Amino acid sequence: MSSDFVLKHKDLERARRILAGDRQVFKDFFEEYFDPLFRFTLNRLGDESLAKDMVQSTFCRALEKLDGYRGEAALLSWMFSICRSEMSAHFRKQRRYAEVEPNQTAEEIWAVLDTLADDRPSVEEAIMHRQMKGLIHLTLDHLPKHYGNALEWKYLEDLSVAEIAGRLGLAPKAAESLLTRARQAFRRTFDQLRRELSRPRGGAPNALSTGGSR
Amino acid sequence: MNEHGEDAKDRLLYFPVEADDDSTATGHSPHDLVRSEQTTEEMVIAMLKHAGPRDPSPEDVKNHVFDHVQGVWKQQVERQAAARRRWYGSIAAALILFGVLGWWWRFGLSEPLVDSTSTPSNEIVARVVVWDSPSPAPFEVGAELEVGYDLATTNTERAALDMAGVSLRLDHNTRVRLLAVNSVELLAGQVYIDAGEGTEPHQDAAKIEIRTSFGHASDIGTQFLVRIEPHSLKVQVREGRVKVVAQNQRHEAAEGAQITVNAEGQAKVTPLTDDQDWSWALAAAPVFDLEGANLAEALHWIGRETGLRIEYQDRELAAEAESIVTHGSLDGLTPAQAPELILATAGLGYSIDEERLYVHRLKTP
């Protein structure tokens, strides 16, 4: 049985239980998706109050549509797509079209990133830095929870493999192998998200635009 | 710094270019290509260090959104449940018309333990008496729950429901579905049932039935606990008797015993161990309404909840206890903590040995 099939089945079952009124599943669903969605919207909008409203309307819209969810995408990706639609609608309403630069390539973006080592980055560079940070966090949020956590523990908290194994209840060898898989998944997901978010979406600002005119 | 003398933040922070990457159209500088050969691990490190740890969202914002979204969800569930009820109602009407349902229920399935009198689909079958939660509780005390309702406690919550006089208590991480006023499906965790007193031991009419995938347990006037474990069902009897039906076989256990039923439906009756812990059920016990009750009633409640036998110093004191009217509230106290307050207020003393709460007059100095 492929892992995709298992994930799809789990997500469908989760959707079914939420609609059936299972409070625990609903709470878990909210707990799991709130932080990633909030980080995503806050990074893009830069305004906590607006980000809160956006996440709230994302959840409400998702609940409305949940009985139509057929597992075409992972539930998390499905939630993110709703969130992006909500943001697009918001920008349309606010007439805050950011200028999408169709020719802006990843190289140009990364070239700006390269300059971030400078002591005093320009405003544009600072914005780019924020967006990059958001994209990296978004990537972590898109990974299975234990993958994202393991990567943070290892590379940001400097935990040893043995300590990570202890936290995950695994043997050290299994933790080592999980870290390898997590790194590979990070790489794949990052590239995928970067491509997906760089694509303009229905006149709304793309993920790498600033949300304001230049 | 790595072995090449570079600092992570000086390196290009993205992965080796893949063939299907849009960016290949514009080509890369040699510098980029050198960088693209760095191992995935080095780049993951560089990127994570660049971004830093993910920030948790502010708790107050999260709680506010949760409250709002939960309200929307509850309304939606209610709407769906109403639609389901209409649908089930139509189906049931059709089945009843042909007399199929009755025959099937009576002869086609295992022995029904409880007289599940037909419950109208929107009938209130339970009332929330306690919802012990560190965060805002999902139900207020007194909330009425309809048939078909699913409810669950988290790992910090406990609850008590009143179902037509039967006290059903849910421990942490427990999920139940209310099937009827006298029938509950236990989906996970453990529940404690106090079916109340007054049912004669010889009577076979149960007040409540707990259905599980392993088998069904019902009371014969008793206090008992039903727990689902990964591969078995455990029923532990604190008082009275319990019967369990699994795979069409009936088993019974009396006070101080437990029945374990495995996935094949095989049952084993064993004595309860001395360290059997009922304390969680006490923690979720509904609070006795002290105001206007008498001391004997209050002590009787304590005895029932704690499993202690109440004994008075003499008959006169027992009679006196019935005439002492109590006032105030026991809010925040468990039944085990209540004697201290109640008896001190009445000017009486008490002692507890293994199974007895002994009430006595205080010696005058």
Please give the ipTM for the structure prediction.
0.72
Residue B359's pLDDT band (cuts 50, 70, 90):
very high
For residue A3, is pLDDT > 70? no
Interchain pair B76, A52: CB under 8 A: no
Taking only the tens place, the pLDDT of each residue in B38-89 is 577 888 888 888 888 888 888 888 988 898 888 888 888 887 777 777 777 7
Do the beta carbons of residue B347 and residue B324 sit within 8 Å? no
Q: Is B27 left (phi over 0), alpha (psi -120 to 50) or beta?
A: left
What is the spatial distance between Cα B344 and Cα B324, in angstroms, rounded to a whole number?
Answer: 13
**What burial class does residue A11 get, using C-beta atoms within 10 Å of its C-beta: 0-12 exposed, 13-18 middle, 19+ buried?**
buried
What is residue B165's three-state secondary structure? coil
- Which of B22, B48, B50 minimises the CB distance to A195? B22
Asked if the C-beta of B59 comes within 8 angstroms of chain A's C-beta atoms, the answer is: no
Q: Give chain A positions within 8 Å (CB) of B48.
A: 136, 151-152, 155-156
Closest by CA position to B92, among listed B83, B84, B105, B101: B101
Interchain pair A155, B43: CB under 8 A: no
- Which of B15, B58, B70 minimises the CB distance to A191? B15
Taking only the tens place, the pLDDT of each residue in A31-53 is 999 999 999 898 888 888 889 98
Q: How many angstroms from the chain centroid is the CA of residue B169?
A: 6
Interchain pair A183, B44: CB under 8 A: yes
Q: How many angstroms from the chain centroid is the CA of residue B246?
A: 23
For residue A111, is pLDDT > 80? no
Nearest CA in chain B to A152: B53
- Confidence (pTM): 0.42
Interchain pair B54, A187: CB under 8 A: no
Contacts 24+ apart (CB under 8 A), B120-124: B120/B147, B121/B85, B121/B88, B121/B89, B121/B147, B121/B148, B122/B82, B122/B85, B122/B146, B122/B147, B123/B147, B123/B181
For testing the chain B interface, which of A43, A136, A181, A197 should be mutated: the one with the most B CBs within 10 Å?
A: A136
For residue A55, is pLDDT > 90? yes
Residue B25 has a pLDDT of 38
Nearest CA in chain A to B75: A21
Rounded to whole angstroms, what are the CA distances from A162 to A170, A175, A183, B96?
Answer: 9, 8, 18, 63
Q: Give chain B positions within 8 Å (CB) of A39.
A: 54-55, 57
Interchain pair B66, A190: CB under 8 A: no
Interface of B with A in 229-248 (CB under 8 A): none
For testing the chain B interface, which of A39, A107, A137, A152 should be mutated: the one with the most B CBs within 10 Å?
A: A107
% residues pLDDT > 90 (chain B)? 10
Interchain pair B14, A106: CB under 8 A: yes
What is residue A205's three-state secondary structure? coil
| C-alpha torsion angle, residues B63, B69, B75, B78 (rounded to 10) | -80
Q: Give chain B positions within 8 Å (CB) of A46.
A: none
Residue B358 phi, psi dihedral angles, 5° rounding: -100, 120
- Which of B15, B56, B152 minimises the CB distance to A35? B56
Rounded to whole angstroms, what are the CA distances from B67 to A19, A30, A126, B64, B135?
Answer: 17, 11, 35, 5, 11
- Which of B52, B65, B154 minimises the CB distance to A56? B65
Do the beta carbons of residue B250 and residue B111 sit within 8 Å? yes
Give the single-character DSSP code of A100. P
What is the spatial distance between Cα B25 and Cα B167, in angstroms, rounded to a whole number?
Answer: 71
Length of chain A: 214
What is the spatial distance between Cα B137 and Cα B130, in angstroms, rounded to a whole number?
Answer: 10
For testing the chain A interface, which of B2, B17, B76 should be mutated: the one with the most A CBs within 10 Å?
A: B76
- Strands (E) in B230-331, as ranges, are 232-246, 249-254, 257-262, 267-271, 309-312
Give the angle B186-B66-A204 at the CA atoms, nearest 5°. 125
- Which of A60, A107, A148 minimises the CB distance to B72? A60
CA atoms within 13 A on the CB side of A95: 0
**What burial class does residue B350 get, using C-beta atoms within 10 Å of its C-beta: 0-12 exposed, 13-18 middle, 19+ buried?**
buried
> What Rg value do the Cα atoms of chain B yield, rounded?
30
Name the minimum distance, in Å, from the CA of B158 to any CA of chain A.
Answer: 13
Rounded to whole angstroms, what are the CA distances from B52 to A134, A135, A187, B350?
Answer: 10, 12, 17, 61
For testing the chain B interface, which of A13, A17, A24 should be mutated: the one with the most B CBs within 10 Å?
A: A24
Name the minimum distance, in Å, from the CA of A103 to any CA of chain B.
Answer: 10
Do the beta carbons of residue B86 and residue B120 sit within 8 Å? no
What is the spatial distance between Cα B3 and Cα A206, in angstroms, rounded to a whole number?
Answer: 38
Asked if the C-beta of A118 comes within 8 angstroms of chain B's C-beta atoms, the answer is: no
Do the beta carbons of residue A151 and residue A183 sit within 8 Å? yes
Q: Residue B332: CB partners within 8 Å, gap ≥ 6?
A: none
Q: Residue A62: CB partners within 8 Å, gap ≥ 6?
A: A78, A79, A82
What is the spatial distance between Cα B134 and Cα A205, in angstroms, rounded to a whole number?
Answer: 42
Interchain pair A38, B57: CB under 8 A: yes
Q: Residue A81: CB partners within 8 Å, gap ≥ 6?
A: A73
DSSP string of B61-113, one letter each residue: HHHHHHHHHHHHHHHHHHHHHHHHHHHHHHHHHHHHHHTHHHHIIIIISSPPS
What is the spatial distance between Cα A125 and Cα B23, in angstroms, rounded to a whole number?
Answer: 20
Residue B206 has a pLDDT of 67
Average pLDDT rounded to a whole number, residues A90-113: 51
Paired tokens of B341: 């307050």
For residue A59, is pLDDT > 90? yes
Taking only the tens place, the pLDDT of each residue in A114-167 is 555 455 556 666 777 777 888 898 899 888 888 999 999 999 988 999 999 998
Average pLDDT rounded to a whole number, residues A64-72: 84
Residue B27 has a pLDDT of 45
What is the C-alpha end-to-end distance of chain B, expressed in Å? 82
